[in-house]
Amino acid sequence: MEIYYFTYTGTSKEIADHLGKKFKIKPREIKTYKLPYFIWLILSFIPYLPFKAKFEPPSSDTIILCFPKWTFNCPPVTYFLKKLKNKHFKTLVMIISYRGWGEKFYYWLYYKITSKIAQEIKIIFIKKKLWDSGFYKEIKI
Ligand SMILES: Cc1cc2nc3c(=O)[nH]c(=O)nc-3n(C[C@H](O)[C@H](O)[C@H](O)COP(=O)(O)O)c2cc1C
């Protein structure tokens, strides 16, 4: 199993670290350029748009991927997933942190992007407020 994360304000890293401790795996970061918020906001309105990112390529058949909900798209994560288009994972778990709105469409978008690369797909949404409050003692995957 491998754990990947992309974060802008740190929540997805916290979630990845939490899972990393549980499964004794060091999470790997999906890194990209540091762009200002308003640029990311504009790009996040374009579904399926990838934005170049760097990451160590995965080698196992089970992936946990933590990332934020950004309007209709998180471009560095979309880039990561598009780069894996020839892979066939057994399980892909996406853990998406968000402020609390628009999750249905995002679920559908990322399900569509990943449906051909994994046999089993699981998408879990975590509200940032609840995460920050310590509500999630454990994330059941
Ligand atoms: C460009 C951008 C777009 C966002 N769009 C949404 C959104 O549509 N719905 C929502 O609930 N939160 C939205 N958020 C808030 C983030 O999903 C939320 O703060 C998340 O927990 C941040 O994760 P991170 O700390 O790992 O970056 C957006 C944040 C950014 C920066």
Q: Which two tokens stand for residue 139?
A: 């994330």
Ligand 1 touching residue 130 (CB < 6 A)? no
70 pLDDT higher than 90: yes
**CA distance linking residue 126 with residue 24, whole number of Å:** 21
**CA distance linking residue 10 with residue 84, whole number of Å:** 24
Ligand 1 touching residue 70 (CB < 6 A)? yes
98 Cα–ligand 1 center, Å = 5
Name the 3-class secondary structure at 115.
coil
136 pLDDT higher than 90: no
Confidence of residue 141 (pLDDT cuts 50, 70, 90): confident
137 pLDDT higher than 90: no
pLDDT for res 140? 86
Name the 3-class secondary structure at 95.
strand
pLDDT for res 10? 98
Q: Which CATH architecture has domain 2-132?
A: 3-Layer(aba) Sandwich (3.40)
138 pLDDT higher than 90: no
Dihedral sign of CA atoms 81, 19, 90, 140 in order: negative
pLDDT tens sequence across 74-86: 999 999 999 999 9
Whose CA is closest to atom 29 on ligand 1? 70
pLDDT tens sequence across 99-135: 999 999 999 999 999 999 999 999 999 999 999 999 9
Where exactly are the structural domains of the chain?
A: 2-132
Reported as type and span, the H/E element at residue 3 is strand 2-5
* Nearest atom in ligand 1 to 14's CA: 26
CA 55 to chain centre: 13
18 pLDDT higher than 90: yes
